[in-house]
Structure 1
Amino acid sequence: MAPDGFVYYSRMCFSCPAFGPTACMMTSSPWSARRAFLLAAGAGAATPVLAQVDVGAASSLRKLVSAPALEQAAARQYQQMLSEAQARRVLVSRSHPSLQRLHAIARRLMVYAAPWNERARQWRWEVSLIDSAQINAFCMPGGKIVFYTGILEQLRLSDDEAAMVMGHEMAHALREHARERLAKTQGTHLALRLGAQLLGLGDLGQAAASFGGQLLTLKYGRSDESEADLVGLELAARGGFEPAAAVSLWRKMGQATGRQSGGPAFLSTHPTGPARIRELTQNLPKVQGLYEAARRGKAPTG
Structure 2
Amino acid sequence: MVLALGSLVACETVQTTQGGAVGIDRKQQMLVSSQEMNAAADKEYVQLLNEQKAKGNLNRNAAQVQRVRAIANRLIPQTGVFRPDALKWNWEVNVITSDEANAWCMPGGKIAVYSGLIDKLKITDDELAAVMGHEIAHALREHARERASEQAVAGSAISIGSSLLGIGDLGKQGAQYAYMGLMGLPNSRSHETEADRIGVELAARAGYDPKAAITLWQKMAKIGGAEPMKFMSTHPSSADRISDLTVYAERVQPLYQQTRQTR
Which bracket does the TM-score occupy, shorter chain normalised?
0.7 to 0.9
1:276 aligns to 2:246 (yes or no): no
Unaligned runs of 5+ in 2: 1-13, 161-183
- Percentage of identical aligned residues: 42
Deviation at 1:138? 0.6
Deviation at 1:178? 0.6
Choose which of 48, 59, 66 in structure 1 pairs with 2:18: 48
**When the two structures are superposed, what TM-score results if normalisation uses the length of structure 2?**
0.77
Amino acid at match of 1:79: V
Residue of structure 1 in register with 2:200 after alignment: 233
Query: Which is higher, the Rg of structure 1 or of structure 2?
Result: 2
1:113 aligns to 2:82 (yes or no): no
The Cα RMSD (Å) is 2.5
1:71 aligns to 2:41 (yes or no): no
Q: Which protein has greater RCO, CA pairs closer than 8 Å, 6+ apart?
A: 1
Q: Deviations over 1:159-178 (max 9, x none)?
A: 00000000000000001111
1:137 aligns to 2:103 (yes or no): yes
Deviation at 1:283? 1.6
Asked if the contact 1:58/1:175 (under 8 Å) is kept, the reply is no
1:156 aligns to 2:125 (yes or no): no
CA–CA distance in structure 2, aligned partners of residues 192 and 92 of structure 1: 44
CA–CA distance in structure 1, aligned partners of residues 241 and 73 of structure 2: 27
Deviation at 1:273? 1.6
1:287 aligns to 2:256 (yes or no): no
Asked if the contact 1:45/1:115 (under 8 Å) is kept, the reply is no
CA–CA distance in structure 2, aligned partners of residues 290 and 262 of structure 1: 33
The aligned runs of 1:244-259 (5 Å cut-off) are 244-258=211-225
CA–CA distance in structure 2, aligned partners of residues 269 and 124 of structure 1: 29
CA–CA distance in structure 1, aligned partners of residues 42 and 120 of structure 2: 29
Q: What's the secondary structure of 1:190's corresponding residue?
A: helix
**When the two structures are superposed, what TM-score results if normalisation uses the length of structure 1?**
0.67
Deviation at 1:270? 4.4
Q: Deviations over 1:172-200 (max 9, x none)?
A: 00011111000000111223789xxxxxx
Amino acid at match of 1:295: R
CA–CA distance in structure 1, aligned partners of residues 109 and 151 of structure 2: 22
Judged with a 3 Å threshold, the aligned counterparts in structure 2 of structure 1 residues 241 and 90 are, in CA distance, closer, same or farther, namely closer
Residue of structure 2 in register with 1:243 after alignment: 210
- Matched pairs, number: 222
Deviation at 1:46? 4.9
